[in-house]
Amino acid sequence: MQMIMITGDNGITARGIADQIGMDQNSRIITGEQIDQLLDEELQKAVANVNIFSRVIPNHKMRIVQALKANGEIVAMTGDGVNDAPALKSADIGIAMGKRGSEVSREAADLILLDDNFATILDTVEDGRRIYDNIKKAVNYIFTIHIPIALSSLLGPLLKISPDALLLLPIHIVLMELIIDPTCSIVLERLPKEETIMKRAPRKANTPLLSHALLLKSILQGLMMFIASFGTYYLYYIDKGDPFLARTMGMTIIIFANIFLVLVNSSNQSLVIHSIKSLFQDRIICLSLCLTLLMLGIILYTPLHLFFKLVPLSLSQLLLSLFIGAFCVFWYEGIKFYLQKKHPLK
């Protein structure tokens, strides 16, 4: 993120203010008179290396904004006066001062900063990026968790398994949705920000929400969950001949994997061992995940298991389900570890 000062004051005053606020700067200052002598292509090169422009007029401000945009930058422009209006309108995001800003600047801007505090802009950008990240994580989760549900419902009849012995009956799909919806609307919405969230370049306006990489990740994670849950169910069904035990093992694996999926995908960069601490500082997230485990316990170890056509699992069977559910999700930690080694967090 590059910060640029554009002011009508002289260069000495501008540099003094930049020093006071701790703004990174280089030795060169370009004045409005020099801008008049530069062609558009020359100005594009200049704005890439200069971050203080002094003695400028409204036309200069707009040319600077347009030069930055021509370089492929996402430009946010702040201003409070009438002379800032053209540049505010030209920028990708025009931000006017709410207290001291003129009516013209507020009309030209996309956002109005009510407290006139520049730090609020950074906080807003940070929170906006966190929200966008969490939306992508929710989309990833929705795609992933529905793959084992959909494929199990399709493959069972293809293998000529009798309808009453299928892994997921309609009541179980409803039950899964009762787990999935709160996870999306409560847990994934509250995930904390990534450590490097403010060190990224702004994303392009035409960047799709569901990228090819995100779709591939969802498919691979969903297929691993499907193989683990349906494979365990099918092996138990063939070996034991007990559809209730087989179904219980398969469903329990899906529910455990659902929890592990949230933990693993809570960060695209940090390993889960680093994410868990921040996740469980949020009591709502902790409560939601614990309620999922409590619901599983109530369904398996109370008379409700008869209604859901399940059976109570022994300790060894429960631990096996836990291990398989963890294994089919935590493989992705190896990919994150590899990416961390290849591209260390800065």
Q: How far is CA 203 from CA 1, 48, 193, 206, in A?
A: 12, 18, 16, 8
Cβ-based neighbours of 129, under 8 Å, separated by 6 or more: 193, 197, 198, 200
Angle formed at CA 153 by CA 328 and CA 231, multiple of 5 degrees: 35
Give the burial class of 328: count Cβ atoms within 10 A of its Cβ; 0-12 exposed, 13-18 middle, 19 or more buried. Answer: buried
Q: State which amino acid sits at residue 153.
A: S
Return d(Cα 184, Cα 288) in angstroms, integer: 11
- The answer to whether 228 touches 215, Cβ cutoff 8 Å, is no
Residues of the chain with pLDDT under 70: 25-27, 344-346
Cβ-based neighbours of 216, under 8 Å, separated by 6 or more: none
- The answer to whether 68 touches 43, Cβ cutoff 8 Å, is no
Residue with tokens 């034991």: 240
Cβ-based neighbours of 283, under 8 Å, separated by 6 or more: none
**Looking at residue 194, what is its pLDDT?**
84
**Looking at residue 298, what is its pLDDT?**
94
**Looking at residue 190, what is its pLDDT?**
86
**pLDDT, tens digit (0-9, with 9 covering 90-100), for 125-183:** 899 999 999 999 999 999 999 999 999 989 999 999 999 999 999 999 998 888 888 88
Beta strands in the chain (DSSP E): 5-6, 30-31, 52-54, 76-79, 93-97, 111-113
SS3 121: helix
**Looking at residue 346, what is its pLDDT?**
52
Cβ-based neighbours of 281, under 8 Å, separated by 6 or more: none
Element (H, E) at 235: helix 212-240
Q: How many CB atoms lie within 10 A of CB 227?
A: 13
Q: How far is CA 223 from CA 93, 137, 165, 178, 219, in A?
A: 41, 17, 22, 22, 6
SS3 192: coil
Q: Which two tokens stand for residue 262?
A: 């949230």
Torsion angles phi and psi, residue 31, rounded to 5? -95, 165
